[in-house]
Structure 1
Amino acid sequence: MDVKTGFFYLFALVLLFAAFRVVTARNPVHAVLYLMLAFSQASAVWLMLNAEFLAIVLVLVYLGAVMVLFLFVVMMLDVHIDTVRRGFWKNFPLAATLGGVVVFQMAAVLMSGFSLTEAPASAPGALPVDNGKALGILLYTEYLMPIQIAAAILLVAMIAAIALTLRTRKDSKAIDASVQVKVRAADRLQVVKMAATQLAPAPVAETEANPAEAKK
């Protein structure tokens, strides 16, 4: 057994263990962490199969965005495990049926085998081109217009999402300039008429201020 085969069995073993722990973990945070471990091992297996683009996309999209989002959502929701487990046996028949269907389909695929074809041989003396570079050349030459349309749609969707979620802050003291220009002095300043001078109040005698001492 060479080194490449040894690494494949190592990644596959860790992948199976992580996938098993995703299902059997009691803590949802631990389940998400095991799922991230499973995705990382699957990415390593794809790298060994010379599928660099799929491996990088799996790491960037799922590990870098989706799974981190799932982890934060699970931690912020504070799911009560005891409440969730109350309906376990009620939903167990349906879950077992779906699991059996998935196992049957995978077994049928594995038993029938895969029709492998040899990769096209490159021209003699030509430099080897990886699939990531070949996919990039194909996307930005033959499919340039669909890529640009998809990028424009995603940009519009991102701007719309930011505009829909944008709300004015209540604690902000910023003032609109147009409101300041249209303001009138009568709306901001009120003149109150008061007498120029006022008589000082008469001094109060100590006896009147404290009647108890006056009686003594």
Structure 2
Amino acid sequence: MLQTLAFYVFSALLVGSGVMVISARNPVHSVLYLIFAFFQAAGLCVLMGAEFLAMILVIVYVGAVAVLFLFVVMMLDINFAELRRGFLQYLPIGGLVGLILLAELAVVLGSWVVAPAANTALGAPTPAVAAVTNTKALGQLMYTHYVYLFQAAGIVLLIAMIGAIVLTLRQREGVRKQNVSVQLARRREDVVVVRKVPTGGGV
């Protein structure tokens, strides 16, 4: 009874915080709701017996990713009012992406019609709890059955990191930047002047 009650509490808080992530007007509040959602997801993982996943959620996502998002949002000088002005320009593209996602969700939810054997294919044999630990079972499943998806997720994160670097490297007026090629091309005669100062003629 206690586990069932905890499950419903964690699930309700997770769904509520997820809705607040996308509906909050302040981006800082949105990141804080995201951190709260990660904690609720970690609680659900503990209820399912996946302590390793719960620890990863708290350490990696809450301790690194979400805090990084929070600092990036607070440090970047983003004019959100200006970003909202071009909302109608991207509305057709956003609607198309939304329709594609809805079609994918419909295929997933109707998998018993499209692929009748999908339910049996998703069920992997569960090893004995006493023989294999939680972390070992997760590693075997991730690096054998889902190794290509794991590599694809790493590539997506790499592309996202490169995109974040490109977005932050904006050309700004009045900012002096180092040009290594110009520095290496300078000659001694251009920067050093040798003057003969007579005795007693110096300052």
Distance (Å, rounded) in 2 between the aligned partners of 1:31 and 1:42: 16
Distance (Å, rounded) in 1 between the aligned partners of 2:62 and 2:128: 34
Q: Structure 1 residues 17 and 28 mapped into 2: Cα distance closer, same or farther (>3 Å)?
A: same
How far residue 87 of structure 1 moved from its aligned partner, in angstroms, is: 1.0
Matching residue of 2:15: 16
What is the SS of the residue equivalent to 1:78?
coil
Q: Is there any run of 5+ residues in structure 2 with no aligned partner, and where?
A: 113-118, 141-196
Matching residue of 2:100: 101
How far residue 45 of structure 1 moved from its aligned partner, in angstroms, is: 1.5
What residue identity is the alignment partner of 1:120?
A: P
Matching residue of 2:111: 112
**Normalised TM-score (structure 1):** 0.53
Q: Structure 1 residues 55 and 87 mapped into 2: Cα distance closer, same or farther (>3 Å)?
A: same
How far residue 17 of structure 1 moved from its aligned partner, in angstroms, is: 1.5
What residue identity is the alignment partner of 1:88?
A: F
What residue identity is the alignment partner of 1:18?
A: S
Matching residue of 1:163: none
What is the SS of the residue equivalent to 1:88?
coil
Distance (Å, rounded) in 1 between the aligned partners of 2:110 and 2:9: 23
Distance (Å, rounded) in 2 between the aligned partners of 1:128 and 1:3: 28
Q: Is there any run of 5+ residues in structure 1 with no aligned partner, and where?
A: 138-189, 194-216
**Normalised TM-score (structure 2):** 0.56
What is the SS of the residue equivalent to 2:87?
helix
Q: Structure 1 residues 95 and 129 mapped into 2: Cα distance closer, same or farther (>3 Å)?
A: same
Q: Structure 1 residues 42 and 28 mapped into 2: Cα distance closer, same or farther (>3 Å)?
A: same
The number of residue pairs the alignment matches comes to: 138
Matching residue of 1:66: 65
How far residue 6 of structure 1 moved from its aligned partner, in angstroms, is: 1.9
Instruction: Give the root-mean-square deviation of aligned CA atoms.
Output: 3.1
